[in-house]
Amino acid sequence: MANVEITQIYNNPSGRDSLDKEYIVIKNTTRDQKISMKGWIVSDMTPTGKDTHLFYFPEVVNSGFWTLDPGEVIFLMTGSGTNKFLAGTQEYPPQFHFYMQRAAFVWNNPGDTAYLRLPNGEFVHWMKVP
């Protein structure tokens, strides 16, 4: 059972817009469990099973240690930027923004798959691009 899930992939198959418009959304689906994401991995795989486009969640965000609290979400953008936490508002829940620092699209083909794994490599959740 996954307590953290990939809930959406926003891809850019045309490749014409900003890399920050291509991202995946990850959510803590528990009601009361804070989850340390330090060292967790997001990747895709080639048809032969080789990991590509690896992203490791850092230990520190906004100059402090962090956890993904119940109901909080992560937006993992393909492009470049500074990792940060944004406090919630009436319109938006608290959320983290992370950046893969890539110069090319990752989730741009139907069937591309985002994998979420623990630091030891164990698979937690995955989702295919529609």
- pLDDT tens digits for 85-119? 998 888 888 899 999 999 988 887 777 889 999 99
**Of 130, 104, 128, 120, the residue nearest 44 (C-alpha):** 128
Q: What DSSP state is assigned to residue 19?
A: G
Average pLDDT of the residues of the chain: 88
> How confident is the model at residue 74, as a pLDDT?
97
CATH dotted code for 4-128: 2.60.40.1260
pTM given for the model: 0.90
- pLDDT tens digits for 43-54? 987 666 677 899
Contact 19, 78 (CB under 8 A): yes
